[in-house]
Amino acid sequence: MGDPLSVAASVAGLLSLGLQSTEYLYNFYTACRDQHQELARVADKLGGLLESLQIIDEIVRTHTWRHNDQSIIQNIETSIARSEDIIHDLQDETAKFKKEPTDGWRKKAVVVGRRAAYPFKRSTLEDLGDDVNNFRDNLSLALQTLQLKEHQNTQNDIEAVNAIINNIRAQHVSDSLRQWLRAPDATVDFNDASAKRHESTGQWLVQGPAYTAWLQQDNSFLWLYGFAGCGKSVLCSTAIQHTILHRQSSPHSVVAFFFFTFNDHLKQDASAALRALLLQLCGQISGLESDLTRLKESYNHGTPPVKVLLEHLRQAVTQCRHVYILLDALDESPPDSSRDKVLSVIETLRQWQLPSLHLLVTSRDLPDIRDHLQLPTLYQGAEHVMLNNDSVYQDISRFVSFKVDHDPQLQRWGQHREKIKSYLTQHAGGIEKHLEKCLRSLPQSLDETYERMLCGIESQEEAQRILSLLCYASRPLSVDEVTEALAVDIDDLECYDPSSRFTGGADDLLRIFERWIQLHNPDNPWYTKVNYQKTAKDRASATYYASLLGLDSVLTYILSISAVDVNTQGGYYGNALQAALANGHEKAVQILLDKGADINAQGGHYGNALQAALANGHEKAVQILLDKGADINAQGGHYGNALQAASANGHEKAVQILLDKGADVNAQGGFYGNALQAASANGHEKVVQILLDKGADVNAQGGRYGNALQAASANGHEKAVQILLDKGADVNAQGGFYGNALQAASANSHEKAVQILLDKGADVNAQGGYYGNALQAASFNSHEKAVQILLDKGADINAQGGCYGNALQAASFNSHEKAVQILLDKGADINAQGGCYGNALQAASFNSHEKAVQILLDKGADVNAQGGRYGNALQAASANGHEKAVQILLDKGADVNAQGGLYGNALQAALANGHEKVVQILLDKGADVNAQGGLYGNALQAASFNSHEKGAEGLVFKTHFLDPGTPAALKVRPSKAYRHPTLDARLTKQRVLAEARVLVKLSGVGEVSVPGVLSVEWDAGRKAKGRDRQQGADGRRGGGAWLLMEWVEGQSVKEVVRAWDSWHRHGRCSAEEKAQGQEALKALMRRIGRTIGFLHSKGGVVHGDLTTSNIMLRRSSASSAAADGEQQMPSLEGDIVLIDFGLATQAIQDEDRAVDLYVLERAFGSTHPMQEHWFDTEVLQSPHGYSGSFKGAGTVLKRLDDVRLRGRKRSMVG
């Protein structure tokens, strides 16, 4: 290569040859593309290739290369040189198309026939298509490099400008000097003007001769002038940017600028401009700050006159080789008070005749400015540029085209956009502000469009009322209905005035609204089949809403229509009567009852009308209902029956009324099981006493808490506990979530209740419930006082049972060091086996509670004890990425290669969960990478199992698609160096295409949400023609593929469930809230099961890598904090989205589906051991989960049992 900053002539010639051949072939196939789709496909491919070649050719011929562009030139040359054989192939193809007949009529006939047929032969089209594909692949490197370099150059320029702007701001100058100068900040105006500049405009100026001469010539001056609003300030900011960039290549150069402005009096006079210029130069010229500090002292901190400021500016200018000063908008300095001094300063600057000074100013063409600048004739010399020229008009045209093409409000005008561009350009008169005004005058949004239409309506009051009716109507209204509705006075809903009816007809409505409304024939199928049916299904009735809001007059009118059914079902409350009752609208209740509302109708949140009234304490309404014959013992709704509703909310009078009316005091059902448990759970002692006096069974079983005593104990209502015990409650009764009352009180740290129960003979060691026994419940929740009370009463410190096996393990799991210490001091067996985690050390290690781990080890815990889900403490800590705990365990002698547990060993556990730092720690300690066993068999297989950030055999990055506002996920499959290049390229391509096909297929399955595919690409390899094209010119192999997908905003189910588990264990919430939280989590698990069922059945796809990391909830955050800082239950709402289909297959075999479920089951158990018992009942067996998602689900679940058996055998062998 002769010239290091140009493309070699041989390569340029080769490029020209390829361009000519491609252009000929493109024109040929374009002319006949309509004859067959294969011809059209080839034409499109050639068009894409031609466009790429033209771009590169334009750059090669016209681009001015920078000194550091050597690598780009090499990439262009390499790309073209690699395609030499293809270019010659294309030239040969072109020659065959043009082949001329030889002498002799027979030979001529044969040649002409072959020439005519050749372009359409399948082999020709296939070869041509391959050549084009390969050629474009080769060019892609050059195009990408050029694009990247252009972006890099732009970024570098921006960074350079910003860096110098920071110097110009002189932020390092002393505060005292800055305060003394009180110089206006010109960078604010510069940034504002720069932000208004449209890309590629203004280049004519900075690349033109006038500006170039101003940059290079000594003592140069340039005046830009034009009409008001023509873009002078924007052009000035463009000149400032390019001057700053020029400063980089010109040593000893500085830049300063100032923007005069009519709307800020601090930026209008000569003193302000000079002070701003001096402060900017302080940040760029050494020693100037000291000079100005002396000046400040000599003027006793007062402001020096303009003459003195000018003298110091002159001294600063003489210290540099080039000083570029740019002053914008001289005309915005007031003519009567300031402009003369500003112009005098400019005149003085020019009279200095300093070679290093370069002065650029902008303004309107005003006589006083022209006189001071000594330019009586504006058409001579090169010291001025008039902005009323063709270049400015071209900038205007570009700006208009961009605005019209990209403004969302103009997209709908389609074919009219060219006319809009032409009109705006012509009528802007070359004035940018006029153009902006034209564009701004268009409606900026649909709302503004409607606003203008509304302003054109003459009958404003009638229009407002009618539009309000149409907006809030649950279905299209008839003209008669509009007429009647207007008879209701909006300001007085009690008043129905027939004289206020709209007297006009349909034509009058159309006259008032013109384009606003449209009348439909009632027989129109759209009206009857689509709109009305959808409304009837999805919305409650007008009667319901009138009752809900207590709009009695409206309700009366609606019910006067004979077709209205007063008992129509719908809405949260089920029907209109319940809606009125729940909100205490007594008059509406009476209206509905008078119209025949069914007092015992079932449905809605409360189940029936009586329960709705009782739940909200509306005693008058209760009496009305009872007088009307309401069924006092009707079952249904949240509370099960009326008595439970009244009891739960502490309405004593209502309870007494119901009992007097014959309510069954021991009726079963509802959330609390019976009325006594409801009252006890909420601490309503008087109601508890009333119920007991009426014969309530104090030991009745059922409901959330199992019995009334457990309900009162769980919520710490000591008085209710005492009342129940005095009435003979069985202190050791079993049942409910907590198993017994003592465990309920202990779990929630109600020490007084604990003491009362123990004094009444509660069995301190009773087994059962979630925690196994009371001591374990108190230990788990770190209630030290309750722990101490129980131990003092003889609780068995080593009692086995419950999820955590024993109290020490429960306390260790939650890192309650004080409870751990109490238990150890009382003789707890530190190595006791049992529970989910086998022993206390493993439980503490699982949750990375380093203090608890250290305490246990210091007290003699066996660091290598076997048992539990993870086999040993080191594996538990490694599986969850707890580096500190891992290090502590290893330092204490943990066996880095200990076998057993879910993952087989600690290394597999860390690899499977993507904890790279832990992996490195284990390897440094000698972990065996070839050890066999566990869930994945060996470390290599475990490494392929990972989270959202690392997909199957690929890496996932967050990027954007088309614009920064559209986030996207980029999944990269790198090439494998250990595979043959051809095999690697083929396998990588097949796998990325397979994943893309699965995603596209599933995007059509409504019940399964997956990321949408945005783009896919791979290194297609090269067809060997004349030489091996598998390697690049530099000898390095290519390869790899990527898949660009929609980015799923939200959290993985793994993160959500762990957040929920933390809230459930540590959050300060009532037992009822915890119960509701459990139901919410179960509902989520059922939704997951159902989604997987649809994936298997309707999608016909097996995921291959189902974990809770690959199941997302599409939403913004996993949890939020309460106002008082307390932890809230994380939201479990959101669309379920399945991700990472890198190992997916399109399969319908029951065996494949069962294996898919087995992988998820094992992953779920290892990640969420506390919720594992719900996996089978909710995800798999629930009729709302996998089991009920398709007919063949039962067969798959039976096959899953076989797969589980094989899995256990494998684990035992491994």
What is the DSSP annotation of 1118-1153? Answer: S--B-TTSPBPPPP--SEEEE---TT-B----HHHH
Helices assigned H by DSSP within 575-706: 576-582, 586-594, 609-615, 619-627, 642-648, 652-660, 675-681, 685-693
What is the DSSP annotation of 554-606? Answer: HHHHHHHSTT--TT---STTSSHHHHHHHTT-HHHHHHHHHTT--TT---SSS
Q: Are 60 and 76 in contact (CB under 8 A)?
A: yes
764 token code pair? 């301190």
925 token code pair? 């300690």
Helices assigned H by DSSP within 407-505: 417-427, 432-441, 446-455, 460-472, 479-485
Task: Identify each DSSP E strand in 1081-1202 by its residue range.
Answer: 1111-1114, 1135-1138
Does the annotation mark 1105 as catalytic?
Answer: yes
User: In angstroms, rounded to a whole number, what is the distance separating the alpha carbons of residues 1150 and 1192?
Assistant: 8
User: In angstroms, rounded to a whole number, what is the distance separating the alpha carbons of residues 303 and 267?
Assistant: 16
Sign of CA dihedral 953, 955, 960, 965: positive
Q: Any idea what DSSP says for residue 478?
A: P
Q: Which residues contact 121 (CB under 8 A, 6 or more apart)?
A: none
Q: Within 13 Å and on the Cβ side, how many CA atoms surround 1141?
A: 30
Q: Are 1103 and 1144 in contact (CB under 8 A)?
A: yes
Neighbour tally for 604: CB within 10 Å: 24
Residue in 137, 984, 1105, 1156 annotated catalytic:
1105
Taking each helix axis as running N to C, give the angle between helix 417-427 and helix 432-441, from 0 to 180 degrees, rounded to the nearest 10.
140
User: In angstroms, rounded to a whole number, what is the distance separating the alpha carbons of residues 724 and 745?
Assistant: 15
> In what helix (H) or strand (E) does residue 1014 lie, and over which residues does it extend?
strand 1013-1018
User: In angstroms, rounded to a whole number, what is the distance separating the alpha carbons of residues 823 and 787?
Assistant: 8
Q: Where do we find the tokens 């919520």?
A: 715
Burial class (CB in 10 A: 0-12, 13-18, 19+), 339: buried
Q: Within 13 Å and on the Cβ side, how many CA atoms surround 557?
A: 20
Residues constituting the chain: 1214
Q: Where do we find the tokens 């029956």?
A: 641
Q: Where do we find the tokens 């007062």?
A: 302
Neighbour tally for 692: CB within 10 Å: 21
User: In angstroms, rounded to a whole number, what is the distance separating the alpha carbons of residues 243 and 1083?
Assistant: 64
Cα angle: 121, vertex 124, 127; to 5 degrees: 150
Catalytic residues: 1105
